[in-house]
């Protein structure tokens, strides 16, 4: 495919980038004993991006013939010419970058492709049946398997010439418990870059048992009191915090638009205990769900420090933002499918591990909570965030206590990271299932150690 793309680029004036991008999705979903879906989705094509008169033109095509690619190049050039007169500021010349050249296949693809449909269906059916049999208090149970096998080739007129294949399987189990008309749902999930075996690192049967136990326990849980509280965040909540509330504010396109990270390079924005990075590699632990060897501009996807010992030291860039801000591309340009334009996205975002044990962190809390399991999350340009938490346990006098329900954490992420006074040495990737949304979905991962800090909990107010 790289040869075909290079043939199409032969003789093209100016900058052009061709990306062949194929994806195969499989999905098996069982709920309350019924197979809701067993699906296969294939989509592939070529994205064409050109830079003419300092203006981008973009076209996509499913026609993979040489003539089809040249037609798409013509379409993209026509689009750029149409837009150029209305563009106020020209896109600067793109800076040189550490381009990927060659094949960068990731492990796990052959393993996943070798699995039969029967094997996938059997796993999901078994897990859902296990959940259904676990408690008479359950009104609904479901299990879901999804996988993506992705193939790409990226060729540019200025030197990128890379191809790779990778695989991303993921597994979810959900349990809904019911008592006296009250319903509570809990779930567990795992998502990875790699083969079938990655799903078993978390022991799927244990995931089922935890989801069921949490849903049933939540029926008896009370809502927390609202207000400021000291919390110990699990790696999944740390991942949500650094992805949603910090990571998006340091995406250079958002920085240029005026995010809370704008103009703060070199400033102390967090506790000195915090070093925060985004990487195309799976740092500290294997199989991170956002791993990529090369981004969609053909740039090698390395490790980028965002906060070093509390000081803001970097942003996440594509080639254009790097040129505009006089910095180096970081390999963060990503597109969801072939018809999507590459935009700045995170990969695997995390806090570097520290020195303490989780037990030490909990023992240091006089009155607070251990929060684990993201239910959902959103953040703002201001770095203010809101995260729903699946499970929160009271901590009193350094000891874990009862479960509370309906916990939502809010605050300003930089301020919260400024209150960090404990970082565990245990490290985990824990946001590999699901997608990040920014106009397009994207597979990312995030995680880190356990962190002790202070946040605001949404809770009940007296009348």
Q: Which of residues 200-259 bind another protein (CB under 8 A)?
A: 223, 226-227, 253-254, 256-259
Residue numbers 42-61 binding another protein by CB under 8 A: 42-45, 55-61
Beta-bridge mates of residue 23: 43, 150
Convert residues 420-459 into a mask of x (bound to another protein by CB under 8 A) and - (unbound). Answer: -------------------x----------------x-xx
Query: Of 311 and 438, which has the nearer Cβ to another protein?
Result: 438
DSSP 357-378: -HHHHHHT-SEEEEEEEEEEEE
Residue numbers 14-33 binding another protein by CB under 8 A: 31-32
Asked if 67 is part of the footprint of another protein (rule: CB under 8 A), the reply reads: no
Asked if 326 is part of the footprint of another protein (rule: CB under 8 A), the reply reads: no
Least spacing, CB of residue 139 vs another protein, in Å: 4
Least spacing, CB of residue 134 vs another protein, in Å: 15
Q: Is 367 exposed, middle or buried (0-12, 13-18, 19+ CB in 10 A)?
A: exposed
Residue numbers 356-375 binding another protein by CB under 8 A: 375
Asked if 313 is part of the footprint of another protein (rule: CB under 8 A), the reply reads: no
Asked if 412 is part of the footprint of another protein (rule: CB under 8 A), the reply reads: yes
Asked if 39 is part of the footprint of another protein (rule: CB under 8 A), the reply reads: yes
Q: Report the SS3 class of residue 60.
A: strand
C-alpha–C-alpha distance, residues 371 and 330, integer Å: 32
Strand pairing report for 227-233 and 276-279? unpaired
Contact 128, 35 (CB under 8 A): no
Asked if 406 is part of the footprint of another protein (rule: CB under 8 A), the reply reads: yes
Least spacing, CB of residue 372 vs another protein, in Å: 15
Which uninterrupted H or E stretch holds 169? strand 161-179
Least spacing, CB of residue 101 vs another protein, in Å: 26
Query: Of 76 and 153, which has the nearer Cβ to another protein?
Result: 76
Residue numbers 184-203 binding another protein by CB under 8 A: 184-185
Asked if 419 is part of the footprint of another protein (rule: CB under 8 A), the reply reads: no
Q: What angle do CA 448, 313, 302 make, to 5 degrees?
A: 60
C-alpha–C-alpha distance, residues 323 and 95, integer Å: 6
**CB atoms near residue 182 (< 10 Å):** 10
Query: Count residues contacting another protein (CB under 8 A)?
Result: 84
> Taking the CA atoms of the chain, what radius of gyration do you get in angstroms?
23
Strand pairing report for 161-179 and 182-191? antiparallel
């Amino acid at each position: 495919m790289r040869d075909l793309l290079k043939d199409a680029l032969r003789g093209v004036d100016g900058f052009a980038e061709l990306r062949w991008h194929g994806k195969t999705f499989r999905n098996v979903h069982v709920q309350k004993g019924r197979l809701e879906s067993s699906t296969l989705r294939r989509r592939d094509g070529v994205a064409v991006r050109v830079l003419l008169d300092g203006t981008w033109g973009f076209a996509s095509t499913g026609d993979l013939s040489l003539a089809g690619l040249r037609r798409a190049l013509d379409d993209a050039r026509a689009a750029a010419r149409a837009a150029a007169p209305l563009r106020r500021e020209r896109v600067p010349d793109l800076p040189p970058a550490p381009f990927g050249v060659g094949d960068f296949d990731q492990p796990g693809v052959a393993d996943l492709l070798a699995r039969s449909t029967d094997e996938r269906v059997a796993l999901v059916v078994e897990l859902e049946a296990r959940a259904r049999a676990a408690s008479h208090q359950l009104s609904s149970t479901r299990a879901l398997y999804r996988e993506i096998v992705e193939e790409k080739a990226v060729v540019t007129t200025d030197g990128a010439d890379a191809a790779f294949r990778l695989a991303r399987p993921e597994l979810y189990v959900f349990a809904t418990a019911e008592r006296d008309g009250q319903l509570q749902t809990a779930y567990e999930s795992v998502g990875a870059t790699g083969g079938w075996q990655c799903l078993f690192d978390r022991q799927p049967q244990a995931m089922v048992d935890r989801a069921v136990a949490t849903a049933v326990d939540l029926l008896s849980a009370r809502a927390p009191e609202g207000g400021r509280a000291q919390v110990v965040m699990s790696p999944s909540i740390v991942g949500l915090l650094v992805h949603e509330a910090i990571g998006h504010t340091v995406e250079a396109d958002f920085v240029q638009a005026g995010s809370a990270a704008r103009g703060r390079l070199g400033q102390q924005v967090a506790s000195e205990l915090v070093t925060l990075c985004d990487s195309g590699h799976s740092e500290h632990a294997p199989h991170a769900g956002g791993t990529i060897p090369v981004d969609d501009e053909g740039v090698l996807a390395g490790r980028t420090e965002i906060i070093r010992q509390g000081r803001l030291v970097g942003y996440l860039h594509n080639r254009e933002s790097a040129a505009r801000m006089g910095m180096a591309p970081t390999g963060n340009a990503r597109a969801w499918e072939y018809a999507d334009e590459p935009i700045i996205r995170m990969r695997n975002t995390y806090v570097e591990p520290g020195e303490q044990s989780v037990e030490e962190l909990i023992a240091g809390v006089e009155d607070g909570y251990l929060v684990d399991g993201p239910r959902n999350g959103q953040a703002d340009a201001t770095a203010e965030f809101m995260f729903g938490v699946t499970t929160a346990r009271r901590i009193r006098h350094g000891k874990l206590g009862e479960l509370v329900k309906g916990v939502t954490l809010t605050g300003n992420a930089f301020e919260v990271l400024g209150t960090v006074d404990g970082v565990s040495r245990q490290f985990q990737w824990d946001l590999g299932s699901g997608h990040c949304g920014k106009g397009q979905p994207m597979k990312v991962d995030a995680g880190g150690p356990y962190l002790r800090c202070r946040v605001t909990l949404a809770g009940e107010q007296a009348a």
